[in-house]
Amino acid sequence: MGVIRILVLFLRGVLRNRTELAAENLALRQQLAILQQKSKTPRLRRRDRIFWAMLSRVWADWRAALLIVQPDTVVRWHRQGFKLFWRWKSRTGKVGRPKIQAEIRNLIRRMSQENPLWGTPRIQSELALLGHVVAESTIDEYRVHPRRPPSQTWRTFLDNHVKDIVAIDFFTVPTATFRVLFAFVVLRHERRRLIHFNVTAHATAEWTAQQIVEAFPFDTAPRCLIRDRDGIYGERFRERISR
């Protein structure tokens, strides 16, 4: 060993504090005890792995004193110990999440039986109103699933009646003179074709019904009319188009 290197090691030992020197001596002594084993190939025991995993947490320069294994090996030991610790801490004695109360389970079944059209989100919102916070997966597990839907699906309805379905709606058009016009459109779903439209400044139930009459004269009226819940489609509108 050269004189310069000895001098560097001496200065390093003088400048370092007593805690770091104690940690380094402890690390070197532990490795020396492993190398003094009678077996030709020294074996690391569990307590040796625990020692290095703990030392790596409290001493920042632990890699400089490590000789028997690679630093990555110590990091792997620490991760394994971390997994074992949390596995022990999170043990419950039972597999899976705990079951909810029997009262809530019975309430979920009762809601699904008495309201076959309610889905999981609707049942969840109703339970929240009653003060029960339950996950959707839990509700879906305990609610009663009907073997068949109570009625045909929306997709089946469209496939069977698309030729007889017509949709109506309004949209507004602002003008250059700051007026607002109401545009009324009639759309046939079979071909997605616009079959009638008109514009007015004062939309009323009588005017809207008259547009339906003009769009479907005589016996060409559709069987299904899709609209929103606007108040203009009230009793006067229905009376006018039923004549």
Say what the pLDDT of residue 182 is.
Answer: 95
Q: Is the pLDDT of residue 42 over 70?
A: no
Helix (H) or strand (E) holding 82: helix 71-89
Which structure tokens are listed for 136? Answer: 């959707």
- Residue scoring higher pLDDT (131 or 27): 131
Q: Is the pLDDT of residue 43 over 60?
A: yes
As a whole-number percent, the residues of the chain with pLDDT over 90 amount to 22
197 — pLDDT class (breaks 50, 70, 90)? very high
| Separation CA 11–CA 1 (nearest Å) | 15
Say what the pLDDT of residue 21 is.
Answer: 67
Domain extents for the chain?
A: 3-89, 102-142, 154-241
As a whole-number percent, the residues of the chain with pLDDT over 70 amount to 72
**Count of other CB atoms within 10 angstroms of residue 187:** 17
Q: Which of 34, 33, 22, 85 is nearest to 59 (CA)?
A: 22
Q: Which of 186, 182, 231 is nearest to 202 (CA)?
A: 182
96 — pLDDT class (breaks 50, 70, 90)? low
Beta-bridge partners for 196: 186
Q: Is the pLDDT of residue 93 over 70?
A: no
Residue carrying the six token digits 């009625």: 151
48-88: per-residue pLDDT in tens? Answer: 777 767 777 666 666 766 766 777 777 777 777 777 777 77
Q: Which of 131, 128, 142 is nearest to 97 (CA)?
A: 142
| Separation CA 135–CA 120 (nearest Å) | 10
115-173: per-residue pLDDT in tens? Answer: 988 889 999 999 999 989 888 888 988 898 877 666 677 788 778 888 888 999 999 99
Pairing relationship of beta strands 165-174 and 224-226 according to DSSP bridges = parallel
Say what the pLDDT of residue 86 is.
Answer: 76
CATH topology of domain 154-241: Nucleotidyltransferase; domain 5 (3.30.420)
| Separation CA 238–CA 171 (nearest Å) | 21
Q: Which of 220, 218, 223, 229 is nearest to 162 (CA)?
A: 223
Pairing relationship of beta strands 180-188 and 224-226 according to DSSP bridges = unpaired
Q: Is the pLDDT of residue 231 over 60?
A: yes
Q: Is the pLDDT of residue 239 over 80?
A: yes
| Separation CA 45–CA 42 (nearest Å) | 10
> Do residues 203 and 182 touch, judged by C-beta distance below 8 A?
yes
